[in-house]
Structure 1
Amino acid sequence: MNSEIIKKLLKIVVLTLLISYGLDKLVFFGLNKISDKVMTGQAIGKLNHFLSLKDNTDFLVFGNSRANRHIDVELFSDNGFNMGIDGVGIAYNSTLINTLNEEKKQLILVHIDTKNFIDANYDGSDIRGLKTKYQRDDKITDALNESGELSQLQRVFYSMNYNGNAIGILKNYFKPSYDYKTHNGYDPLIVNSDQETMRDLVLSKDNQNDECVDNPKINPLALRYLKSIKTFTEKSPNKTFLFVTSPMYNDTCSTDNKKLGEIMQDLGLTYWDFTNLYKDNKDNSYWKDKTHMSKTGAEAFSIFLLDKYKSNKI
């Protein structure tokens, strides 16, 4: 192959890349214009809602579905928001916490699931849930770059970060799931009469944990993200941080709870573990399943938590 043909091929490749790059930025701009108007749904709406009000609230909740379903923010403040998102872990929550205004006075409740911290398979990939904000929020962008969870192509062609979210975004753009202006992020689980029999059957099954170990090891990546939150607390003296594990129906393994409790104490973080708060209370109306409380249980727990917070100066 002579040099002239090689030069022409190189020109074609370069031109193709430039066109692709330009098209990507146009698509990215268009998707941003649409997604910024979406304020409902977990595809991006709840994240947008949070980012729009995070520095104007008095009380914020972070965590996974158990945070989302178990903490009634209205009991704590008329100006609060529950940022619990299904399936996320400490990487996602640590990143969002680090976007907060350090000077703003706030109560920050971080929901912690003990078993997530001893999960050897936890890889921090939940931070990908923030990829639609890549190159749109400096702190989120830095955290995503540091995590290594985005491919080289995603770092160049930004519109790729909408993959997997586009349908949910469009759905909530044309038909919002709820009135976000009256929604504080708390989504309790309601168990109707038709679901009670199945719920009771699930709760009656043996909950023995065969994987319980005497000396569990904390996942180092999870610990690193926890330490990132600790560093943020030191830079934010006006904020009060409270770390909580909400109730489970019957947790038969307590070694992970003890291990995490020791870590939290070493870091000087206020941590309340309520995993077995209702272990001896066999009122099934409190539960949706073994790890999620019903609205009845969540409201009872939220009242209990508020009373404890009021009686303990932290």
Structure 2
Amino acid sequence: MDGNLLEIKDLEVQFPIKKGILQRTVGHIHAVDKISFNIKECETLGLVGESGCGKTTTGRAILRLNDPSAGSVYYKNEDLLKIGRSDFRDMRKNLQIIFQDPYSSLNPRQTVKGLLNEVLTVKCGYSKAEAAERINELLIQVGLSPVYANRYPHEFSGGQRQRIAIARALALMPEFIVCDEAVSALDVSIQSQIINLLMDLKDTYKVTYLFISHALNVVQHISDRVAVMYLGKIVELAETEELFSHAAHPYTQALLSAVPILSGHEKRERIILKGEVPGAAHIPSGCRFHTRCPMATKECAEHEPELREVASGHMAACHRL
């Protein structure tokens, strides 16, 4: 896999639309539509796009939290989608997720110690003494005091709960973590703390991240490469510096034009996209962005562009490139 930890090929996720008393399937929502990309070992791949573009569904499908309709997800040359559920459960400790809302993902009836102890004793086979020592280590590593171990989730702030969620994800020593909007619900000052924590833990544990977010400034800070999604398709993929300085796709350019600029920096022209985002149940023909693209031509409406290399390591899906 040439240094790739994960390789996703033609991944597709569809959800049926059911109507009537008999709940017959009358159509499908194309949440993720035959996307392919790779994630290198020890890198952070940012995945950005507007709400509803398929970012979260992609992350959940990689971990089989949503069942993909088609495609392959290769982890160390083994297709995760073809492994039996019992075998996949054993592999799942290498593949973890940090959810957007830490409060809803933590059991309110369990203390921090109970949450982490369950993971360590059941999944890792730790003794009670070993688990207690490891829990103290984890809490310190995520910036919390071990004395918090006997507290319940409701006794913590949002940032502290997210640190607990990170500690739980790290407890199994995973190689890959999906960060699904992991900082979007937090205050800006707390966001920076969590981002710096994730970056430090990446260096310590040599972990690989898929960082899903709609906040481009956060993605720019933490990511090595960035993929841009629109209506279930990846429309651009490049190294972070390359994408932010030389965005090729009109959609990426519009997204970047909306990022606030610090005082004293060169101003950029704001690109206002007209029209509404089409529904995933009614994908436009041709390039799915053509209904909002200011540079769309007849070809854009008739033929779907392929994701191809437009510069070294820089992929984009646009007829005009």
Larger Rg, first or second structure (1 or 2): 1
| TM-score by shorter chain over 0.5 | no
Between Structure 1 and Structure 2, the one with more helix by share is 1
TM range, smaller chain:
under 0.3
TM value normalised by structure 2 = 0.26
Q: TM-score, normalised by structure 1?
A: 0.26
Higher RCO, 1 vs 2 (CA within 8 Å, ≥6 residues apart): 1
Higher strand share: 2
